[in-house]
Structure 1
């Protein structure tokens, strides 16, 4: 390894440490389509999942088996019929379906059990638990067509599933469900993953698919999709997506609608896509997030009154520099706000100076502090600054130095400020200067 490569590795590892701490103890439900089990990148996916487990992430893996079922039925000279993208599982093909799903599950279990020396799995000692966690019921007759042994999730045994996770095991779920009468039903793996994520109140749904995520009309990957925007996107562009990406995005939307905070799409054919999505600032896929109660957005002139009401007490305490209404109206385009039920509960501003920018007027309503909202604003402004070529942020503060240090800022001095900003520095106020590299 060259010195440059080593420095890149060290830099990446250090930057990933906040995410390692943030994900430890969290519960992730992972959707893995049957196509991924046949892809050349499958072993790397398993290694990445094993790494997540070793870092303290509680994992529920839900695998699909569509290509495996197709192959099995073809060997039996049977061909499935589909209705609205759902396989019609008749009695004659049910045995082949169960065998194909069983083979896919065994493939997963075997891969997770690998522990050869000199391999990424060496010493992992992963315990994998499968079981009858899913109760199912028939989908019944749709549009006059009986789907027979094709079913849907009726209930998730969340208590039993949670006990397995508490014991440190990875839970492996197949797209099969069982009824109280002993019947077996062929399920959609995306339905299983979505219902499980909701039932156990998972922190994330991670959906592997055959693309990097959702793209806009300009062909640009959309890194983030608020819940409402995701719904509109699916309505407008679902026909332009591959079946697998559409299914993954629909599952992301449904899971967030049912209380999961974040759902992320990653490409199963891209080596390290999951780690890049979870442990880097910008990620490698598309994240759908629940924002039905709080909206993070660019400020408008109509927000001036709400911002004044928010920052006035902090100005009186000397925490923030006083800003007149006229100044706020002039600079409103520099502000971002977090709104809840029509009330501005947090704000922050960004003032660019060539390749550096000043972060200013960071404020959160007293009723909503310690909820991470200022951090979310900071993250959004950092992303915006990077898009405009900014490599460094700086901030001047008198009473909140520790908060900025906790968010990656380091002390600096006045001479490091851009000349234009240095000329406006108020020596009587005596603000401390902090910098953060974001490029």
Structure 2
């Protein structure tokens, strides 16, 4: 009895800290199949009863494999991603639908002998995830395999405010009515980022990250993850680590990796000092500022890969040094992770937004939006009335942020005369 009382007393600070916080919990299909699944559900119900706002993202890989085997279908993968053709998509939809119903039934239990007695939970799923196709990579068509494009943040938050548990399946839908098979890790990570969740909890088979000696690594910073990912290679723990680090880089305060095979691992991780898994903590130091001559080297490191891909126009070091005062940058712990430039156009009240770039592993946050807002503020202070942008790859991004399709002829003569017709960039403009 004394141990039980002490346990509750020591958990009290964590209970207070977690109340009204948003947690996104990712449970893969293997975890749902595991004999410990019932205990995990009861632990999630406990979290909900303590005031935690819960989003549950589920996987379905083993369930899909069973459906495919029943129909005599062979699974095909490329770069560790399932290729989802028409017959495979039918299996995915069948597996996910059955899982959703089974999970809703489990959360509906209200037996006198169950810890869930009196919970009366509402579990709500729906079309909260907008997806797009991965398309063709290296000549391989992924068909109906997709990636997350957008999370319905407002819709989910409204349900969380009503004390519902939101269930996200590994399916996403396009504006054209198509259905796409998604990675549950992608769904969970993007949901945590878009919802500005306090925690992302990722269930795996192991108790977090194990080092070379098989010892549990208790805590990591995002920048420390890459060396472990290289060591783990194709191990599933590497995927979980990358998801945890990505979430932290893009605003989630803490990510936890715990075991679905260990009874009570979730509660031990969240309500005890030592935890039970691996914690990835957000790095705090990040700033948005104007660039100086000392930043030229970091800018070159950031934009060179994009120049080699043909996404950005090549700029020499001399050009960057001359134009450095026109750049705004996002710096994290001494590393330049994003930039954008404002080029005033001579003899006009117009400017050009150029060289907007975000380092690959720091995308999906709001850094692009923050840089755009910074550039627009600078332009208004300079008395500019119109902002032009030329792009070959990101037309939709700019249109979603108020830019309108334009033409070379509408640009001031000083800029129109430099237009590169070989690049065939699309022209957009925005009134300031």
The alignment's TM-score, normalised by the length of structure 1, stands at 0.64
Instruction: Provide the residue aligned with 1:198 in structure 2.
Output: 193
1:203 and 1:341 map into 2 onto residues whose CA distance is 22
Instruction: Provide the residue aligned with 1:86 in structure 2.
Output: 81
Out of 293, 317, 336, the position equivalent to 2:285 is 293
Q: How does 1:38-437 map to 2 (within 5 A)?
A: 38-235=33-230, 237-239=231-233, 242-243=235-236, 245-293=237-285
SS of equivalent to 1:246: helix
1:59 and 1:153 map into 2 onto residues whose CA distance is 20
SS of equivalent to 2:88: helix
Instruction: Provide the residue aligned with 2:405 in structure 1.
Output: none
CA deviations 1:240-280 (Å, max 9, x no partner) are x732x222211101111111010000100100000000000
Over aligned residues, Cα RMSD in angstroms?
A: 1.4
Give the CA deviation at 1:93. Answer: 1.9
1:28 and 1:74 map into 2 onto residues whose CA distance is 35
Instruction: Provide the residue aligned with 1:355 in structure 2.
Output: none
Contact 2:249–2:283, Cα closer than 8 Å, also in 1: no
Contact 1:227–1:292, Cα closer than 8 Å, also in 2: no
- After superposition, the Cα gap between the structure-2 partners of 1:141 and 1:127, relative to the gap in structure 1 and judged at 3 Å, is same
2:249 and 2:137 map into 1 onto residues whose CA distance is 25
Give the CA deviation at 1:107. Answer: 1.5
Contact 2:171–2:181, Cα closer than 8 Å, also in 1: yes
SS of equivalent to 2:43: helix
CA deviations 1:317-372 (Å, max 9, x no partner) are xxxxxxxxxxxxxxxxxxxxxxx979xxxxxxxxxxxxxxxxxxxxxxxxxxxxxx
Contact 1:231–1:253, Cα closer than 8 Å, also in 2: no
Moved over 2 A (4+): none
Contact 2:151–2:190, Cα closer than 8 Å, also in 1: yes
The alignment's TM-score, normalised by the length of structure 2, stands at 0.65
Give the CA deviation at 1:217. Answer: 2.2
1:136 and 1:341 map into 2 onto residues whose CA distance is 33
SS of equivalent to 2:209: coil
1:202 and 1:111 map into 2 onto residues whose CA distance is 25
1:74 and 1:92 map into 2 onto residues whose CA distance is 12
1:162 and 1:228 map into 2 onto residues whose CA distance is 30
Give the CA deviation at 1:142. Answer: 1.1
Give the CA deviation at 1:129. Answer: 0.8
Give the CA deviation at 1:218. Answer: 2.5
2:99 and 2:200 map into 1 onto residues whose CA distance is 21
Instruction: Provide the residue aligned with 2:29 in structure 1.
Output: 34
2:277 and 2:202 map into 1 onto residues whose CA distance is 10
Contact 2:45–2:116, Cα closer than 8 Å, also in 1: yes
1:57 and 1:264 map into 2 onto residues whose CA distance is 16
Q: More deviation in 91-100 or 174-183? A: 91-100
Give the CA deviation at 1:219. Answer: 2.0
Give the CA deviation at 1:285. Answer: 0.2
Contact 1:156–1:199, Cα closer than 8 Å, also in 2: yes
Instruction: Provide the residue aligned with 2:326 in structure 1.
Output: none
Instruction: Provide the residue aligned with 2:14 in structure 1.
Output: 19
- Structure 1's unaligned 5+ residue stretches are 1-5, 295-339, 343-439
CA deviations 1:158-195 (Å, max 9, x no partner) are 01111010110000010000011110000000000010
Give the CA deviation at 1:55. Answer: 0.2
